[in-house]
A and B are shown apart, each in its own frame.
Chain A
Amino acid sequence: MLGTHAWANGAIYAPLMLPITTEEVDTSLKASGSTAPGPSGLTTEAWRQAGVTEDLTAVFNDIITRREWPEGMVDGLICLIFPIAKKLGICTADNARPIALLETVLKVLTRILGTRWKAILQQHPVLERNQMAFVPGVDIMENIEVDSFLWEWCRAHQDSEDGSGHLHASYLDCSKAYDSVARWLTRAAMGTHKLPPEFIDLVVRLDNVPAGRQVVTEVGLTARISFPGMAQGEVCLRQSSWCHKTRWSGGSANTEGQESVDEMGRRG
């Protein structure tokens, strides 16, 4: 991501901050499909049925124009912590990962910005060519095919005298890759690609909530806690912060769970 290219040019990102149209909101609402809703329980289908596309467009354009998230929208970013089982079986404390679910309306906006960004990347291939993710037109199969081809070629030339058939490969595992990326690095990577500073601020602030996020658990209790990493997706939390110590399945609430969440609130 940090690789620079001579053709990286800030001008290509101008469409990122253009006013959002009702068509974009409509398309994003449709594309969001049946994604899991946030604490309000409002699905994208509910937003579609409500017929508030124009109102949403006005709110989104306000964010784009003022280039900052409205008061409370980020600082009090509400998410739903929902545990799912890591491996097949009961969702207990040692077999669960906490997933933060944001309000669908926020995801509609980030999808619009993501779609715009992808369209730019499609026209201007500024990403490193050995990074296949996020690049329109290519997918993980490209990597799989190159990797398989390398092994096949080296197996076929294994006995060559010049040693050209010797392949030494390492497959690396990143621990909590998205949680451990520092904000300065996100800024540096985006800055290297000459993205507009206002857009960078918008993106970085989405995950920068110093006062902590207001968390709603599925048992209906709220607390304000801080956790690193992305607002949406798997979050890095101590198990005691969000889950029963033993034998708690995701769907059932009891006294033990309430105590755990209350403790979480006091700490936060």
Chain B
Amino acid sequence: MWMKWGGEDRQVTVVSLHFCDDMVVYGESFEDLQQNLGIISEWSRATGMKLNGGKSAYLTTDAAEGMVPARSPTLHGVWKGGCDGSFTASTETGPGHLRPRGWDEEVRTLGVQQRAVS
């Protein structure tokens, strides 16, 4: 995201926002988001923190994904390569998949309603 700050155009990258156990993770593409979720998934596996894919949500402004995204990222998969590694998402369908939400579907997060299209 580009924004004007101090009279100059600056690029700002927001990867995630946290409030206690409330998490929002972003990606500039589906694959980017999947990789970021892979980091979270590996972290939760290592620490014992349980993430509930069924209660989580996936939203996008990318029209190519469809009004209701046909695919959704997953928390299930394998991380390989240490800190600089990559995440291979599981192809199995199941509770690890985040629930895709349509453009006009509201999601309650951080205490407010959010949706992809205003």
Which A residues form the contact surface with B (CB < 8 A)? 128, 130-134, 140, 143-144, 146-148, 150-155, 158, 163-178, 180-182, 185
Contact status B28-A169, CB under 8 Å = no
Contact status B1-A180, CB under 8 Å = no
Contact status B47-A175, CB under 8 Å = no
Of all chain A residues, which has the CB nearest B115? A151
Contact status B17-A170, CB under 8 Å = no
Known: A147-B109, A170-B56. A181 touches B48 (CB 8 A): yes
Q: How far is the CA of A185 from the CA of B45 in the complex (A)?
A: 12
Known: A166-B29, A168-B58. A178 touches B118 (CB 8 A): no
Of all chain B residues, which has the CB nearest A154? B61
Contacts of B107 in A (CB 8 A): 171
Interface check B16, CB cutoff 8 A: yes
B54 to chain A, nearest CB (A): 8
Q: How far is the CA of A194 from the CA of B110 in the complex (A)?
A: 30
9 smallest beta-carbon distances between A and B, as pairs: A177-B21, A173-B55, A174-B21, A175-B50, A168-B33, A166-B62, A172-B23, A171-B109, A133-B20
Known: A154-B61, A174-B49. A140 touches B56 (CB 8 A): no
Contacts of A146 in B (CB 8 A): 14, 17
Q: A147-B109, A170-B58, A177-B21 are in contact. List 10 more A-B contacts (CB 8 A).
A: A140-B110, A146-B14, A163-B28, A164-B28, A167-B28, A170-B98, A171-B56, A173-B56, A174-B50, A181-B48
A176 to chain B, nearest CB (A): 7
20 contacts between A and B (CB under 8 A): A130-B14, A131-B18, A134-B20, A147-B110, A158-B61, A158-B63, A163-B62, A166-B28, A167-B28, A167-B59, A168-B29, A169-B25, A170-B26, A170-B57, A171-B59, A172-B22, A172-B56, A172-B98, A175-B52, A175-B55
